[in-house]
Structure 1
Amino acid sequence: MGVSNYEVEDNAYRVTGEDPQLYLKSEGTVGGMRILCRANSGEDLPVQVFYAKAGENYTEKHSFQTVIESGRTFCCIPIPLGEYDSFRLDIDGDFTLNEITVYAGETKVSPVISAGTLHQCLIYCPVALLAILLVFWAHKVRAGEMGLHNYMLQLSGKNQNQTSREVCWDYMRVLAAVLVILAHACSPMVDLADAGWKRLLLVGGLTLGLSCNVIYVMLSGALLLNSHKEESVGSFYIRRASKVIIPLIAYYLLLLSLNHEVGFLPPKNLGAAFKRILTGAPDVGPHLWLIYTIVALYLITPFFRVMMQHLTDKMLFAMAVVILVCNALTLYLPLAGIGFGISTFLAGWEGVFLMGYIMTKDQTRSYDKKIMAAAVVAFIVSVIVVFINSANMNYVYHNAITLQLLSCGIFALMLRHKSWFDGKDNAVIRLCSRYSYAIILIHWYALFVIVQGRFHITALRFGCAGGIAVTVVLAFAVSLVLGIIYDNTVVIVCGVLFDKLISGIRRIRNK
């Protein structure tokens, strides 16, 4: 018997490092194992047993996981009958080992319902029933608001009578969701590439992918600042909270829960979790910084909307020039040892937000070819800069003028040919567009935990180009499925409860 990262004294094993392991050698046929031990902490003791034949490595596929619950002193491990060379026991915690018995025959594990399991069933079953009833109630409320037929069409992405402009925005939303996955699929692999052409391909994908942030902010500006809907500032904030902030909170808590940082039954760290929501993006979801940025832009939207809609085309063009110039001066003057002392919001994400509105104006179409040419140049320059030295990416990525020009070029291409979208409306694009926000919120988990962690697929596999494509498509599909499920269960319930709360407050105020 051998051990790793355990300190052993008599029969007591104490963990001294990460991933503690206990090794056993074996001869002959083995069909099961009985471990007689107890946790020193009095808590549940996770156990995973790996089994390997001669010449084989330990793999998750050839292992069995169980838990020795608090109060119990043994567990039985069923192992496929065969001749094994060695076993590895991963017991995560301090424990006292009394005996390990290896069985030569086939082992069958009889289910035992412990008092703890019965207690959990008595708690979880009513909660699960209540959750199901809440989901049905929430869908019933939404169906009542817009009619059952229209609601079912919306859920399935089969809305009809879309204008070419609205279809264009659907394609843009889907494009932004694809690009954000592309960026995060390529980013960690750039410095791992073992060939120059692979690095160039990854940098190109990263550059194109990172335009997603600028595109998403520009999309928000294009749609919100163009709106002529008559509503108060308070009504606008409430509507944005229902559509954006409530889902953000729901997915934030989901990411924390998946990382075992928060629990719901029983409640664990919920108070601290809600405090963390106010502080910004968590470590398990750093991509959420973009949503926090957009939420901040919502605060100024009602005021910017009035201002922008009263500016002439010439003034809007002048503003676009000022935005790009201020951005360039703020970013690049320090490279020459000159500080740019004029601080202006136009050089930040606010400028990108306003640029989205400017790009939708008909007058801007006369500059489309020049904008697209500038976008190509900006893309090439960005790729060259990062390819030579990835440490310089801050000068061409984020909201730098290079990515702004690239994103404006994509806008110009789509809006210049918006007539192409006539008749291009379909259920798949509508479905992906409807859940594009959910895809962006959950894609980090889908990409890094499921696609890369479980499926072991990365951008460097399948000849790099194939790896990038497979990673993006698979991560998008997984994100879409997770988004559909979570949006139509947890998010919709939270949204309806929020709307009911606001309606109740309004009724009380009107009395």
Structure 2
Amino acid sequence: MKKIASTIYWLAVAVGSLVLLNYTSYVKPQWLFFGIAVAVGAGICIFKSIKNENYVGQTLAISKNNNRNPVYDYLRLVAVLLVIIIHVLNLDLRLAADMAGTGIYNTMNYIRCWSGNCNTFFIMISGALLLVDKEESVFTFYKKRLLRIAIPLIVYYLWYLWQYEKIGVLTWQEIAVKILSADVYNDNVPHFWLVYEIVAIYVAVPFLRIMLKNMSYTMLTQLVVITYVLSILMKFIPNQIGTIIPLSGWCAVAIVGYWYSREESRKFDTWMIIAGVLVSILEYFKIDPNLAYQDSMTALTQYFIITVLAVFAICFKLQNHLKNFYLLRLVSKYSYGILLIHMWALYFVVRNIIHVSSVMYKGVGFIILVVVTLLISTVAAYLIENLFIDIFNTVISIIDRKKNK
């Protein structure tokens, strides 16, 4: 009975995805291509559901693992919400520039600037989960994890190129060069820069693991403190010859995430929460409403590590009381896809069906836009990853099985 139900479910998902594609796509879909792709994707899902009766529930994050630590699910939810918030407010506050100085505008501008923490969240979560020592070769790590990042990156990148009507105009060689060279700004996918940074960190992870494995917690703490202090000094005292601090940049942020995920760091939780609150208050007064948004963000970057660590500290302190609710699990499971697709969902779908601004209705418009964008992005990520991306994963797994025979 379950097998029949799962087959009906995937057929309904396949048909529903084509219907949604018809109503949400900016350009007319090539129905032959999408029809075949969806049919193949649905067929693979049906086959997997027959082999595993719990497969549908797994894709929908229905099954609840009581042994799973929900801390990182909450952190992913916060990161996803912040990245949506910052892009919702970027447009609305530019259009509402005449309201600058009003209470609602200043509040929204503060929320926007504080949401700049989203990039730090994603990198620190990656560091916390990936830099833990595991017995696997460099090749195994790359095969298992880079493909999980690289294949979705390519698929979503092609999705945006198609929506911007560049598929068919550019040659496949030109498209390949764009993806490999991270031409994100010319292709109107600026939020992909973060994904390329994450890919770069993935390349370094196997080697960072070895370094961190052989480093005592005390020495690790010293590394984090010294690197952070030097980064602040170099911000206030610019280095004229461009000296680069060892392990600076996003790799350092990933290491900070790993450091704070260690059980020994729980002794800092209370102090980190206090520091985060104080820094968040300081940020409010630090924001200059006369500065352009990007300049405001640059002026606040030295605070982001502290505020993100404060949220980490809150989640770790409350981890025994955090509720493992359904939407949390679903968003966490598809957080990477949501990060990639949310700009399309916001600008191609939500803005065309909900004609409100964040500053309307005393901020209620902002809440509506964020919630609807999150829901549509989650649905889109679910469909793309299960009906399209899973095709590539299945082909790779078949090739691996044949090699191992």
- Same fold at TM > 0.5: yes
* Structure 1 residues 355 and 442, CA gap change in structure 2 (3 angstroms): same
Q: Pick one of 211, 219, 243 that aligns with 2:117.
A: 211
Structure 2 equivalent of residue 436 of structure 1:
335
Quick check: which one's helix share is greater? 2
Aligned residues: 371
Q: State yes or no: 1:409 paired with 2:314.
A: no
Structure 2 equivalent of residue 112 of structure 1:
none
Structure 2 equivalent of residue 303 of structure 1:
207
Alignment of 1:390-409 (within 5 A): 390-391=291-292, 392-397=295-300, 400-409=301-310
Q: State yes or no: 1:286 paired with 2:187.
A: no
- What per-residue deviation string (whole Å, max 9, x for no partner) do you get for residues 58-110 of structure 1? xxxxxxxxx9xxxxxxxxxxxxxxxxxxxxxxxxxxxxxxxxxxxxxxxxxxx
Structure 1 equivalent of residue 324 of structure 2:
425
Structure 2 equivalent of residue 4 of structure 1:
none
Q: How far apart in 1 are the matches of 2:87 and 2:197?
A: 19
- What per-residue deviation string (whole Å, max 9, x for no partner) do you get for residues 170-225 of structure 1? 12112111110011112233453414212321222112311111010000000011
Does structure 2 retain, via aligned residues, the 8 Å contact 1:156–1:427?
Answer: no
Structure 2 equivalent of residue 155 of structure 1:
59
* Structure 1 residues 244 and 340, CA gap change in structure 2 (3 angstroms): same
After alignment, is 322-331 or 454-463 more displaced? 454-463
Structure 2 equivalent of residue 199 of structure 1:
105
Structure 1 equivalent of residue 19 of structure 2:
none
Q: How far apart in 2 are the matches of 1:252 and 1:390?
A: 32
SS at match of 1:491: helix
* Structure 1 residues 128 and 389, CA gap change in structure 2 (3 angstroms): closer
* Structure 1 residues 312 and 288, CA gap change in structure 2 (3 angstroms): same
Report the alpha carbon displacement of residue 466 of structure 1 after superposing the two structures with TM: 1.2
Structure 1 equivalent of residue 138 of structure 2:
233
Does structure 1 retain, via aligned residues, the 8 Å contact 2:280–2:307?
Answer: yes
Q: How far apart in 1 are the matches of 2:247 and 2:302?
A: 12
Structure 2 equivalent of residue 466 of structure 1:
364
Q: How far apart in 2 are the matches of 1:461 and 1:296?
A: 40
Structure 2 letter corresponding to 1:302: P
* Structure 1 residues 453 and 160, CA gap change in structure 2 (3 angstroms): closer
Q: State yes or no: 1:269 paired with 2:269.
A: no
Structure 2 equivalent of residue 117 of structure 1:
none
* Structure 1 residues 246 and 482, CA gap change in structure 2 (3 angstroms): same
SS at match of 1:459: coil
Structure 2 equivalent of residue 480 of structure 1:
378
Q: How far apart in 2 are the matches of 1:428 and 1:156?
A: 10
Does structure 2 retain, via aligned residues, the 8 Å contact 1:255–1:285?
Answer: yes
Structure 2 letter corresponding to 1:401: Q
Report the alpha carbon displacement of residue 467 of structure 1 after superposing the two structures with TM: 2.0
Report the alpha carbon displacement of residue 138 of structure 1 after superposing the two structures with TM: 2.8
Q: How far apart in 1 are the matches of 2:133 and 2:45?
A: 28
Alignment of 1:89-104 (within 5 A): none
Q: How far apart in 1 are the matches of 2:194 and 2:376?
A: 21
Structure 1 equivalent of residue 130 of structure 2:
224
Structure 2: gaps of 5 or more residues:
1-27
Report the alpha carbon displacement of residue 124 of structure 1 after superposing the two structures with TM: 5.2
- What per-residue deviation string (whole Å, max 9, x for no partner) do you get for residues 233-270 of structure 1? 0111111132111011100000110111114xxx9633
Q: How far apart in 2 are the matches of 1:140 and 1:453?
A: 34
Alignment of 1:347-386 (within 5 A): 347-386=248-287
Does structure 1 retain, via aligned residues, the 8 Å contact 2:130–2:205?
Answer: yes
After alignment, is 375-384 or 253-262 more displaced? 375-384
Structure 2 letter corresponding to 1:208: W
Structure 2 equivalent of residue 172 of structure 1:
75
Report the alpha carbon displacement of residue 503 of structure 1 after superposing the two structures with TM: 4.8
SS at match of 2:307: helix
Does structure 1 retain, via aligned residues, the 8 Å contact 2:224–2:256?
Answer: yes
* Structure 1 residues 457 and 227, CA gap change in structure 2 (3 angstroms): farther
Does structure 1 retain, via aligned residues, the 8 Å contact 2:201–2:251?
Answer: yes
Q: State yes or no: 1:329 paired with 2:233.
A: yes
Report the alpha carbon displacement of residue 128 of structure 1 after superposing the two structures with TM: 5.3
* Structure 1 residues 402 and 128, CA gap change in structure 2 (3 angstroms): closer
Q: Which has the higher contact order (CA 8 A, sep 6+)?
A: 2
Does structure 2 retain, via aligned residues, the 8 Å contact 1:217–1:294?
Answer: yes
SS at match of 1:347: coil
Q: How far apart in 2 are the matches of 1:322 and 1:358?
A: 13
Q: How far apart in 1 are the matches of 2:309 and 2:204?
A: 22
How high is the TM-score relative to the length of structure 2? 0.84
Does structure 1 retain, via aligned residues, the 8 Å contact 2:83–2:339?
Answer: yes
* Structure 1 residues 333 and 503, CA gap change in structure 2 (3 angstroms): farther
SS at match of 1:161: coil
Q: How far apart in 2 are the matches of 1:357 and 1:484?
A: 29
Report the alpha carbon displacement of residue 341 of structure 1 after superposing the two structures with TM: 5.0
Does structure 2 retain, via aligned residues, the 8 Å contact 1:214–1:404?
Answer: yes
Q: How far apart in 2 are the matches of 1:330 and 1:131?
A: 51
Q: How far apart in 1 are the matches of 2:35 and 2:306?
A: 52
Does structure 2 retain, via aligned residues, the 8 Å contact 1:180–1:212?
Answer: yes
SS at match of 2:288: helix
Give the share of equivalent positions with the same residue, in percent.
26
Report the alpha carbon displacement of residue 143 of structure 1 after superposing the two structures with TM: 4.7
How high is the TM-score relative to the length of structure 1? 0.68
Report the alpha carbon displacement of residue 428 of structure 1 after superposing the two structures with TM: 2.1
Structure 2 letter corresponding to 1:407: V
Q: Pick one of 500, 503, 510 that aligns with 2:398.
A: 500
Structure 1: gaps of 5 or more residues:
1-66, 68-119
Report the alpha carbon displacement of residue 348 of structure 1 after superposing the two structures with TM: 0.8
Structure 2 equivalent of residue 184 of structure 1:
87
Structure 1 letter corresponding to 2:178: R
Q: How far apart in 1 are the matches of 2:48 and 2:223?
A: 41
Does structure 1 retain, via aligned residues, the 8 Å contact 2:133–2:210?
Answer: no
Report the alpha carbon displacement of residue 502 of structure 1 after superposing the two structures with TM: 4.9
Does structure 1 retain, via aligned residues, the 8 Å contact 2:341–2:381?
Answer: yes
- What per-residue deviation string (whole Å, max 9, x for no partner) do you get for residues 265-303 of structure 1? xx9633321211011125321101000000000011011
Report the alpha carbon displacement of residue 480 of structure 1 after superposing the two structures with TM: 1.1
Does structure 2 retain, via aligned residues, the 8 Å contact 1:187–1:202?
Answer: no
Q: How far apart in 1 are the matches of 2:401 and 2:227?
A: 40
Structure 2 letter corresponding to 1:211: N
Q: How far apart in 2 are the matches of 1:168 and 1:253?
A: 33
Q: Pick one of 461, 471, 489 that aligns with 2:387.
A: 489
Quick check: which one's strand share is greater? 1
Does structure 2 retain, via aligned residues, the 8 Å contact 1:327–1:346?
Answer: no
* Structure 1 residues 143 and 304, CA gap change in structure 2 (3 angstroms): farther
Report the alpha carbon displacement of residue 445 of structure 1 after superposing the two structures with TM: 1.1
